[in-house]
Structure 1
Amino acid sequence: MPRAMRAFVRGVEAINRVVGLFSMYLIFVMIGVLLYSSIVKTVAIPPLWTLEMAQFLMVAYFMLGGGYSLIDDSHVRMDLWYGRWSPRRRAGVDIFTIFFLIVYLGFMLYGGISSTGYAIRYGETSYSSWSPYMAPIKIVMCVGIVLMLLQAIAEFFKDIAAARGENTQ
């Protein structure tokens, strides 16, 4: 693998590891918000913000963790034949299928940027009674999509090297 590609892969993986490890801890924040809501609900009227805040934290959790799941190969895959194939054949199939992921993420990013621009321009808020601004979570979603897109491109480069029989590390 050329030096520039190797540097790109290492840089993107380093960023996605840091962001992915950070996002793992968001689940505990979400649990804390829901626990707070449960405790307050038994004593008084629950706050309006807890359910929606938990939803926002969950969105941040899975959007920011997408690139990390690609690095660890922990995403969902139909393993009917794939597990029996040689590493070179798997890489060849992955080269083909990752193209569709890159196209899909490109469309998601396009829509996300458009939606984020709208939320910023018009001060979009949620339709709930809490009515928080939507721009922050939409920005987080766009960042997550960009990180996953960069990681998909890095995986594409690694698959090309693996299909050629080269060492990807």
Structure 2
Amino acid sequence: MNVLLTISRLIDALNNSVGKLAYWLILVAVLVSAGNATIRFTLDTSSNAWLELQWYLYSAVFLLCAGYTLLRNEHIRIDIVVSRFSIRTQAWIDVFGTIFFFFPAVILILVLSWPMFISSYNIGEMSSNAGGLLRWPVKLLVPVGFFLLMLQGFSELIKRIAFLMGLIAEPGEKMHSSH
């Protein structure tokens, strides 16, 4: 179990780093948006590429931060019901939900999104908008983001099992917001 906890810490560090890097993508998106608006109003010109770049940046933040959000335990939960249970019962619910709901959904999205990226990459898919960008980079964000999310799910599962075995204290920064 110590090896798995080490792997969990490495996954946590990876998603923490990706999440903090994604903070900067928000700044870039804001600067692109402000720059595009300024140029549009002062020079009366614009490009679809700037608008698409904003969408790509926001997509990157959303998809790449999914694992980071799970690490920080900030994802949507059913705390109104679960918070009434003991921490151990909550951990069991997390283990069950991760194995039977989380992993199947994440793996399905990974399996379905990878061929879409490959196809887009192989044909050099471009935006249908005049002056638009390549599409494959944004399509790559889906499998990458869900892969990071799957890794974090594995890390959270390891931590919950280690907690249930009495090897670690309550896992996560705040396993459940009510405690």
TM-score category (smaller protein) = over 0.9
User: Is 1:66 the counterpart of 2:36 in the alignment?
Assistant: no
d(CA) in 1 for partners of 2:71, 2:108: 22
Q: Which stretch of structure 1 is more off in the superposition, 155-164 or 59-68?
A: 155-164
- Compute the displacement of 1:51 (Å): 1.4
CA contact (8 A) 1:24 1:65 kept: no
Unaligned runs of 5+ in 1: none
d(CA) in 2 for partners of 1:101, 1:58: 24
Q: Which stretch of structure 1 is more off in the superposition, 67-76 or 37-46?
A: 37-46
1:97-133: CA deviation from partner (whole Å, max 9, x where unpaired):
1121111110111112111110111111121112321
SS in 2 for 1:76: coil
1:75 is matched with which residue? 75
CA contact (8 A) 1:125 1:133 kept: yes
CA contact (8 A) 2:22 2:65 kept: yes
1:41 is matched with which residue? 40
1:97 is matched with which residue? 97
TM-score, normalised to structure 2, is 0.88
CA contact (8 A) 1:88 1:164 kept: no
1:51-82: CA deviation from partner (whole Å, max 9, x where unpaired):
11111001100111111111110111122122
SS in 2 for 1:84: coil
CA contact (8 A) 1:12 1:150 kept: yes
2:128 is matched with which residue? 127
- Compute the displacement of 1:30 (Å): 0.6
SS in 2 for 1:80: helix
1:147 is matched with which residue? 148
d(CA) in 2 for partners of 1:117, 1:65: 22
SS in 2 for 1:25: helix
Unaligned runs of 5+ in 2: 172-179
Which stretches of structure 1, 4 residues or more, deviate above 6 A after TM superposition?
Answer: none
TM-score, normalised to structure 1, is 0.92
2:28 is matched with which residue? 29
- Compute the displacement of 1:48 (Å): 2.0
User: Is 1:164 the counterpart of 2:148 in the alignment?
Assistant: no
1:15 is matched with which residue? 14
Q: Structure 1 counterpart of 2:108, which letter?
A: F
- Compute the displacement of 1:83 (Å): 2.1
CA-atom RMSD in angstroms: 1.5
CA contact (8 A) 2:11 2:152 kept: yes
SS in 1 for 2:132: coil
1:108 is matched with which residue? 109
